[in-house]
Chains A and B, each alone.
Chain A
Amino acid sequence: MLFNSIDFAIFLPIVFAIYWLIGNRKGQNAFIVLSSFVFYGWWDWRFLFLMVGTALIDFWVGVRLQNQHDSNRRKRLLTLSMCANLCVLGFFKYFNFFQTNFVEAFRFFGHEISPTSLQIVLPVGISFYTFQAMSYSIDVYRRKLEATHSVIDYLAFISFFPQLVAGPIERATHLLPQFQINRTFDYANAVNGMRQILWGLFKKVVIADNCASIANTVFENSASMPGSTLLIGAIFFSFQIYGDFSGYSDIAIGTSRLFGFGLMRNFHFPYFSRDIAEFWRRWHISLSTWFRDYLYIPLGGSKGNIWNKVRNTFIIFIVSGFWHGANWTFIVWGLLNALYFLPLLIAGKNRENLDVVALNRLLPSVKEAGQILITFSLSMLAWIFFRAESLTHALTYLNVLFSSTLFHAPDTTLIPQLKTASVLLFFFLCLEWHGRASEYAIEKLLLNRHRFVRFVFYYLIIYCIVTLGGDQQEFIYFQF
């Protein structure tokens, strides 16, 4: 079920009404599980068994870990949980990748082997709920969290429908306790949630989907386009992926607010970052911090000599790339970001820009504007690998992008929607810039104005969603 579909527009009010009518915590949790199963089963009900199966293993492991004091047995239990999750993830997400690469490697050495042909369908959101489940087992193992003895609470935590298929990837220490306390309806929080849903829909339907039609056309016809048009394609893809994913996160967080839950922030205006380290503190925060807590720090983190730091940095960026998909393009994307990050790490400048850019000022300074532009350009170049069909495609794209045709007039015959999308993007960026100190751009916008002004503004956003939305596209991160 897509957030930007009629199905969800019907589903959400029904679930909301029944949820608050139920009134007691246990009933509400059970209802969340039921609703989440309906939400997830809307795509393919068969994968529900997979999710529930791994969740039950993790639940059982959690209970055993809680009561077990023998460190070797505890390690074995944790290993069981990790293996169950990673095997499922590995099989569904990476089987074809490894198989193809093995066949290619054998072919390179002159041996022809015929691969087994398996049509593996990737279950929606598998990378998200698997990582969430692993965080639970690890935190219980580390005794940071007490294991839950309620299977309903655990299933509700794993399958919570607002963030089930594309995050934010919640930590058990943050979300699970919220299922264990009584929730009361908070009017201000619910209104805030509605506002965030509205903004998320705007980002997805108006910004991302309009940018998508341009980016898709350019990337699909890149062989016959000049560098200047490819630059437009790369810029619009950068905003497509931002609007798409952060829009989804906003809808997820806003929806959770309606049910009395608080989810972690996933984006913090990343395109206003002044260096790549700041960008990574603001982009897909739930995944970055997951890797930080469960991979980077256990590897030694920033401790030790410079080579350890460099090694650890490369590991998390490459693993992060691989998490996104079983394709060399994602691995190169991760590698490229690690290379961007490296000079800051070596110079010890990776934690310089921690505040909000140009706080209490209307515009950034020239220096800040230059830094923002450079950071955006670097991330945009990396996105080319992320979007390309293959490494060859990405390299060809870059080759043309940096040719003399970059200075030719762009060929816009195939992208007639460019003007409209550019105008929308401009207004979007103005609003984002204005609201960069808030959790999301319109969180505090016009709050001190008369209700009529606010309503007109919200109606304007709704009007844009209804009439200016691009062709409906599936959320990019569903494939991960």
Chain B
Amino acid sequence: MLSFIRKLLFFSLYGILSFTIYWGIFYAYKSQLVNNNLIKIASYRTLILGDSQLQRLETDLIGDSTYNFASSGESYLVTYHKLLRLIEQNPGKFNAVLLGISVHSFAPTYNRLMNVDFFDGQSSLERYFYFLPLSVSWTFAHHEPSRLFKSIDKTTEWGGAFSSFRSNPDSSIINETLRSHYGIQKNEGRFCDEQSLYLKKIDSLCIAKQIRLVLVTCPYHQDYLSKVDSSYIIHYQTVLSSLRTKAHISFLNDLVRPEWMSDACHLNRSGSAFYSMRIKQALDSMNPTVYFP
């Protein structure tokens, strides 16, 4: 039996060693690829960050040196680490960050994006694995460590500008979006507190690094907004008022033409062109002291 245990231990040790070397090399290689891409972003001065709502903005209409780094279903935890990584690698290169914020930013759907027990959380970890420090990924997936290994060879989600040509979403699309944003599963909280926490961290980080943080709220389809529980709107306003940054461009209450919406909460190409221009105008008219406290 001792021979069996000894050989089993050797087999395990060889295995652990081989896998550690393999994964270590693979991780280092892919991290380097991500770093190289991040360095390229340093040629821009303004960053657009946030989820898919901000992805729809027409970057060229907002400013010459603007890079759209927003990504679909991105939580503030990921945004914070992306920004931190960019700033650490390119200190003093960025002047301003346009960050998406909206009512659904604190909805239960974001709880699932931070929980690997859900498909959304697993996908989130895999897509943003190389933007997150290993310690954060571990906290994410410590109860299911195989998720970390599965994420190593997954493609990193870069996001970026995305246009849609769809328009006039019907009520089924709007209701489905409402359900996916606000439906509560497996006793999760009504609000995603992690989102508020990391939003405040982004706020503090921008202030500390002297980067102008401008919050941007894109419009929703009217039918969507009218059906959102008022407690979420109140929560969104409460979180906004708790931030030190007061620069906020909001189109929340705009009555957007349905032909400008590709679905319940995303502008299509036409709507995006219009609102990108309005963001540009708002930024130009903004007193610099407002958006840099």
> Which residues of A does B touch, CB under 8 Å?
20, 185, 187, 190-191, 194, 455, 458-459, 462-463, 466-469, 471-472
Contact = CB atoms under 8 A, between A and B. Distances in A.
Contacts of B19: 459, 462-463, 466
Given A187-B1, A466-B19, 12 more contacts: A185-B1, A185-B4, A191-B4, A194-B8, A458-B11, A459-B19, A462-B15, A462-B19, A466-B149, A467-B149, A467-B150, A467-B152
21 contacts: A185-B1, A185-B4, A187-B1, A187-B3, A190-B1, A191-B4, A455-B11, A455-B14, A459-B18, A459-B19, A462-B19, A463-B19, A466-B146, A466-B149, A467-B146, A467-B149, A467-B152, A467-B153, A468-B150, A471-B119, A471-B122
A455 B10 CA distance: 11
Contacts of A463: 19
Interface in B1-51: 1, 3-4, 8, 11, 14-15, 18-19
Given A455-B11, A463-B19, A469 B4 contact: no
The 4 nearest A-B residue pairs measured at CB: A185-B1, A466-B149, A467-B150, A190-B4
Interface string B231-262: 00000000000000000000000000000000
B30 to A, nearest CB: 14
Contacts of B144: 472
Contacts of B149: 466-467
Nearest to A184: B1
B4 to A, nearest CB: 5
B25 to A, nearest CB: 14
Contacts of B122: 471
A20 B3 CA distance: 13
Nearest to A191: B4
A252 B18 CA distance: 28
Contacts of B4: 185, 187, 190-191
Nearest to A187: B4
Contacts of B8: 194
Nearest to A454: B11
Nearest to B119: A471
Contacts of A191: 4
Contact of B15 (A194, A459, A469, A471): A459
Kindly name the residue among B144, B146, B152, B153 whose own CB sees the greatest number of chain A CB atoms within 10 A.
B146
Contacts of A469: 146, 150
A240 B122 CA distance: 22
Contacts of B18: 459
Interface of B: 1, 3-4, 8, 11, 14-15, 18-19, 119, 122, 144, 146, 149-150, 152-153
Contacts of A462: 15, 19
Contacts of B11: 455, 458
A279 to B, nearest CB: 34
A467 B154 CA distance: 10
B258 to A, nearest CB: 25
A439 to B, nearest CB: 20
Contacts of B146: 466-467, 469
A466 B141 CA distance: 14
A252 B52 CA distance: 47
A185 B153 CA distance: 41
Contacts of B15: 459, 462
Contact of B1 (A20, A194, A458, A459): A20
Contacts of A459: 15, 18-19
A459 B149 CA distance: 14
A458 B18 CA distance: 12
A455 B15 CA distance: 9
A455 B16 CA distance: 12
Nearest to B151: A467
B232 to A, nearest CB: 29
Contacts of B152: 467
B231 to A, nearest CB: 31
A467 B1 CA distance: 31
A467 B119 CA distance: 16
Nearest to A189: B4
B180 to A, nearest CB: 15
A468 B149 CA distance: 9
A194 B144 CA distance: 23
A471 B118 CA distance: 10
A468 B146 CA distance: 10
A471 B126 CA distance: 14
Contacts of A472: 144
Contacts of A187: 1, 3-4
B3 to A, nearest CB: 6
A394 B8 CA distance: 47
B166 to A, nearest CB: 16
A49 to B, nearest CB: 29
Contacts of B1: 20, 185, 187, 190
Q: Which of B1, B3, B144 has the most CB of A within 10 A?
A: B1
A245 to B, nearest CB: 22
B205 to A, nearest CB: 34
A366 B70 CA distance: 56
A393 to B, nearest CB: 23
A462 B119 CA distance: 23
A190 B2 CA distance: 12
A469 B122 CA distance: 13
B143 to A, nearest CB: 8
A471 B150 CA distance: 11
A463 B146 CA distance: 10
Contacts of A471: 119, 122
Nearest to B150: A467
Contacts of A190: 1, 4
